Structure 1
Amino acid sequence: MDGAQRLRPSTVSSYRKNIRLYIDPYLGAQPVARLTGPMVDAWMRQLEVSGRADGTGGLSARTVRYVFTILRAALSDAVRQGRLAVDPTDRATPPSPSEARPPEMQAWTAAQLARFLRWADADDPDLAMGWRLLAATGMRRAEALASRWRDVDLDAGRLQVRRSVGTVKDKGAGQRLVEGPTRSGQSRVVDLDGGTVAALRVYRAGRGQVSVDLVRDFALVLSGIDGSHRHPERFSRCFTAQVVRARRALGEDQLPVIRLHDLRHTHATLLLADGVPVKVVSERLGHANATITLTVYQHVHPGTGREAADRFAALLDD
């Protein structure tokens, strides 16, 4: 694809994996010029029925739509370069956006978040610092795991989000972690609250007692004890496991189950519900624009339309 050199390494790796698993085995032998819309439709239906690489069934609508977008991007490039007259994906019908909707977002209340963080800090302070940082900044997992101490200004209470980390698969050599740009390709500055700054100071002091190398400017804030990147997926699994333990300790009715990514949603939801301007929240999250934030979190203020109507009526009464 034309834009491959502009993509993050982890994105390129994901594209290659999906091409290898879901496109080449089905369409690889078919000359591109003979590919038709109905053939693309038949391929997607086959993926939905029996597309799983382990042979246990079909792919989700979300995965099928994702693989379709990869194929569409490649064929669009071919049309643009004059190697293909017509893009057959223009005449195909992938799963709709509603069918491919990601898992519903979950968010903790402020009380639930505070309760969990207190418990997690007593259970495993190292991991708890990661959960607090994600919840307090709205950073993506990949961004937090790539943050270094040189990005953190504890005196000013600020953190610069400059990069992200992801996995790429080397042929015959398994996976490796590589750093790349943030999702937007731009860095941003996120202000830290006093409690998070204090927690970072305590955390850094403790890490420094283990090894001075863990607190040098270039060191990763949330590194493993050997100073290396934590693996993103294993980091998420640690969170899931700790939530399970916390629910046992605190009571399942006190703490709903959420994913690690939902700490980002919790951050945004709590701020928006408290009246923080959408533009400010959008900047903290690293969204390309505030419209994305409004679209994703339109559920936060279901009653704002009624409030607007009441305010307008009050103006007329005045």
Structure 2
Amino acid sequence: MKDSQAPSQSEVTPRMRLSELGSLWFDEIENNGRAGRRTIDGYRDTYDRVIAPALAGLRLNEISTGRLDRFLKDVAADHPATARHSKIVLTGILGLAVRHDALHSNPIRDVGAIKIASKDVRALSTKDVKKLRVAIRKWQDAPDHQGRPRASDLIDVLDIFLATGARIGEVLAIRWQDVDLEVSPPTITVSGTVIMEKGRGTYRQDHPKTKAGFRTVKLPPFALKTLLRKQASEHSGPEDMLFPSSTGTVRSPHNFRRQWRDARSGSGFEWVTPHVFRKSVATLIDHEYSSKQAAAQLGHSGTAITEKHYIAKAADSPDVTDALEQFGE
């Protein structure tokens, strides 16, 4: 009774339903510019598909930590990653209620931890890359694939993946004006990414996924050869995409992934996705230089994410060979 009758200067009240608060929160993050388009679409998908069916009709004063804990545990039983993403969305929505004094504290703060089994980072070795090139080139040269739209440039895209460590959206967003072949070594500036948005289709966003993602990377000689060959054969203009669609527009990551799956089928490298190239670049740079330089190459703001999710490492034992030598004859 006290909560329902208490006057409020805000439109957010304890009696408001989660569905109404959710709409206000999505309006807020749409307008404040702090989240990218893909992030917001991901939040909406999780809300509509997972959260709304279970919680949308509840009023804020009915949402307790225990209720949220049970909900997230039920989701996590089959889909732990979805449960963790749901927790992120609910934290944001209910945080809005706290800011408007409709809740004294965020009830999701004390729910149990959601554990996701960690996966070992798997990366390509230099020997793997050589074998993979042979398999992809064989697929490209097969008579069945001659003349298919963009079927002849998979090796070229692979070269830029391996030369930059860039994300698939960043590689497909490269324009010729982002390439500088006159300097030594030549460079590519990662200045955008490809976005697929409902109602708008596929387009080039004029900034990468993160602020640290805006970077200029130096290219190894094999990438220079690839780009010089492409430049000589295609006569593209500065505004043209480095890897366009069959109609000369921005290329869809979905379409590229579909073609990549066809090309790698039966090769023994079915596990290799475009993101594996990013991990392979990070692993090699870490081995040859350091995780700090690997993070800079990938466009990470620090080394923590790089070391945890992108670098494949075997556990190194200490050098105790002098002591063990005592066991010898």
TM-score of the superposed pair, with normalisation by structure 1: 0.79
> For residue 209 of structure 2, what is the aligned residue in structure 1?
183
> For residue 212 of structure 1, what is the aligned residue in structure 2?
none
The 5 Å alignment of 1:1-318 reads: 1=25, 2-4=28-30, 5-48=33-76, 58=78, 60-96=79-115, 98-99=116-117, 101=118, 104-121=120-137, 123=140, 124-156=151-183, 157-170=186-199, 175-177=201-203, 179=205, 181-186=207-212, 187-208=214-235, 215-245=236-266, 247=267, 252=268, 255=269, 257-273=271-287, 275-297=288-310, 299-300=312-313, 302-303=315-316, 306-307=318-319
* Aligned equivalents of 1:295, 1:77: Cα separation in 2: 31
Report the Cα offset of residue 141 of structure 1: 0.9
The code of the aligned residue for 2:217 comes to V
Q: Does structure 2 conserve the Cα–Cα contact (< 8 Å) formed by 1:44 and 1:94?
A: no
* Aligned equivalents of 2:270, 2:120: Cα separation in 1: 14
Q: Secondary structure at the match of 1:6?
A: coil
Report the Cα offset of residue 94 of structure 1: 4.5
Over residues 169-218 of structure 1, what are the superposed CA-to-partner deviations in whole Å (9 max), with x where a residue is unaligned? Answer: 23xx8x5445253222241011111111111121233333xxxxxx2111
Describe the shift of the 1:191–1:121 C-alpha distance in structure 2 as closer, same or farther (beyond 3 A).
farther
Q: Secondary structure at the match of 1:306?
A: coil
Describe the shift of the 1:38–1:11 C-alpha distance in structure 2 as closer, same or farther (beyond 3 A).
same
Q: Does structure 2 conserve the Cα–Cα contact (< 8 Å) formed by 1:108 and 1:266?
A: yes
Over residues 43-99 of structure 1, what are the superposed CA-to-partner deviations in whole Å (9 max), with x where a residue is unaligned? Answer: 2244346xxxxxxxx4x2112111211111221233134332221101322522x44
Report the Cα offset of residue 299 of structure 1: 4.5
Larger radius of gyration: 2
Q: Does structure 2 conserve the Cα–Cα contact (< 8 Å) formed by 1:138 and 1:285?
A: yes
Describe the shift of the 1:262–1:298 C-alpha distance in structure 2 as closer, same or farther (beyond 3 A).
closer
Describe the shift of the 1:297–1:231 C-alpha distance in structure 2 as closer, same or farther (beyond 3 A).
closer
TM-score of the superposed pair, with normalisation by structure 2: 0.77
Describe the shift of the 1:119–1:207 C-alpha distance in structure 2 as closer, same or farther (beyond 3 A).
farther
* Aligned equivalents of 1:40, 1:7: Cα separation in 2: 25
* Aligned equivalents of 1:285, 1:298: Cα separation in 2: 11
Q: Secondary structure at the match of 1:165?
A: strand
* Aligned equivalents of 1:265, 1:85: Cα separation in 2: 43
The code of the aligned residue for 1:291 comes to A
Unaligned runs of 5+ in 2: 1-24, 141-150, 323-329
Describe the shift of the 1:163–1:306 C-alpha distance in structure 2 as closer, same or farther (beyond 3 A).
same
Report the Cα offset of residue 26 of structure 1: 1.5
Report the Cα offset of residue 121 of structure 1: 3.9
* Aligned equivalents of 1:189, 1:182: Cα separation in 2: 12
| Residues paired across the two proteins, number | 280
* Aligned equivalents of 1:81, 1:155: Cα separation in 2: 56
Report the Cα offset of residue 30 of structure 1: 0.7
Q: Does structure 1 conserve the Cα–Cα contact (< 8 Å) formed by 2:161 and 2:277?
A: yes
* Aligned equivalents of 1:288, 1:118: Cα separation in 2: 35
Over residues 116-136 of structure 1, what are the superposed CA-to-partner deviations in whole Å (9 max), with x where a residue is unaligned? Answer: 224424514312211221122
Q: Does structure 1 conserve the Cα–Cα contact (< 8 Å) formed by 2:80 and 2:114?
A: yes
Q: Does structure 2 conserve the Cα–Cα contact (< 8 Å) formed by 1:8 and 1:181?
A: no
Describe the shift of the 1:121–1:177 C-alpha distance in structure 2 as closer, same or farther (beyond 3 A).
same
**Overall identity of the aligned pairs, in %:** 21
The code of the aligned residue for 2:318 comes to R
Q: Does structure 1 conserve the Cα–Cα contact (< 8 Å) formed by 2:121 and 2:312?
A: no
* Aligned equivalents of 1:178, 1:196: Cα separation in 2: 23
Report the Cα offset of residue 229 of structure 1: 1.8
* Aligned equivalents of 2:241, 2:309: Cα separation in 1: 30
Which is worse superposed, 284-293 or 103-112?
A: 103-112
Report the Cα offset of residue 298 of structure 1: 5.9
Q: Secondary structure at the match of 2:101?
A: coil
The code of the aligned residue for 2:179 comes to V
Report the Cα offset of residue 114 of structure 1: 2.2
Describe the shift of the 1:221–1:11 C-alpha distance in structure 2 as closer, same or farther (beyond 3 A).
same
